[in-house]
Amino acid sequence: MRGAIPGFPPLRGVHPGYNQSMFDLADIEAALPIVRTGVPATPQYAWPLLQAATGVEVVVKHENHTPIGAFKARGGLVYLDRLRRARPDLAGIVSATTGNHGQSLAFAGRRLGVPVTIVAPFGNSVEKNAAMRAFGAELIEHGRDFDEAKDRAAEIAAERGLAFAPSYHRDLVIGVATYAHELLTACADLDVVYVPIGLGSGISGVIGVRDALGLKTNVVGVVAERANAYRLSVEAGRVVPTNSAATFAEGMAVRVPDPEALEIIRRGAARIVEVSEHEIAEAIRIMFSSTHTVAEGAGAASLAALIKDRERLRARRAGVILSGQNIDRAMFHAVLGGETPRV
């Protein structure tokens, strides 16, 4: 560590925000064999061209290198493995998604022989929908956004006698936290890590692993300006829903924060940074030109926030979580051509 970062709270050793009831390192060690049945360890690379483009030494955690192209594959495996063991008569599960959570459950369900039904909002990513169907999920389109799709998924669970699979759950967090364990054991000297926030499993995992390892790494949450419910909620100290979440970074398009995730983020994150649609689009372009890596909107948001903070990060070592690569081809083409998608 190279000292305090301007604009960040003082480093305090083990951060008090760690929720001891969520998980510890023994839970990570127990989850790893389950994760490894389908997801190998992903790399973390410091790309010279990315450092040249940002002026910051940046380590990219490549969660786009999982079998579904996103970090959530880990959580789906752990969640469904434990649910199936607890309920041997499980008839199937139903959940809501904007794409990557649904893919993770479909991926796990196919491997474990559990039927999966997914509810996605109208206008969802065409290619994410196709991927969920390819993994064997029944896909139902309903509602204008994730939160309306979630309400319909709960209704279907009651109607069909299926288990409702939430998007935020202890076993999901423990599963996805294995990526944070890989990153922070390989790069324990990171001064700060930028993590995109959807419903909060990814950043909860990073905070929990950081604290369990006793590191001083600052964790910065990232939200879209047009889907900023978590930033508003952290400032208010309570859940503050928003009326819309109209961002092309659909992995962060959440209107209603999860209360448990909010508490972990509120106590364990150094800051929440908002990034604009234009900044996200530019980060996709920089990631591709510097690394030839594809990032979806949520996957590039962490880099967008780092770029926004780069003046205060001089001589520091930072990590960014590239949480996923699942951007539709037409949208990716438009972004690489200099456009910012409209929702």
Mention every residue, 6+ apart, whose C-beta is less than 8 A from residue 228: 242, 274
Q: Give Cα 18 to chain centroid, integer Å.
A: 18
CA distances, 208 to each of 28, 224, 258, 275, 312 (Å) = 10, 23, 16, 24, 25
Structural domains of the chain in order of their starting residue, each with its CATH number:
25-70+170-336 (3.40.50.1100), 73-164 (3.40.50.1100)
Mention every residue, 6+ apart, whose C-beta is less than 8 A from residue 37: 77, 111
CA distances, 158 to each of 17, 78, 93 (Å) = 35, 24, 11
In tens, the pLDDT along 196-222 reads: 999 999 999 999 999 999 999 999 999
| CA atoms of 323 and 306, how far apart (whole Å) | 15
In tens, the pLDDT along 59-98 reads: 999 999 999 999 999 999 999 999 999 999 999 999 999 8
CA distances, 263 to each of 17, 36, 46, 122, 307 (Å) = 8, 30, 32, 31, 27
Write phi, then psi, for 256 (nearest 5 degrees).
-125, 105
In tens, the pLDDT along 284-319 reads: 999 999 999 999 999 999 999 999 999 999 999 999
pTM listed for this prediction: 0.94
Pairing of strands 44-45, 57-62: antiparallel
Residue 17 has pLDDT above 70, yes or no: no
| CA atoms of 177 and 156, how far apart (whole Å) | 29
Residue 19 has pLDDT above 50, yes or no: no
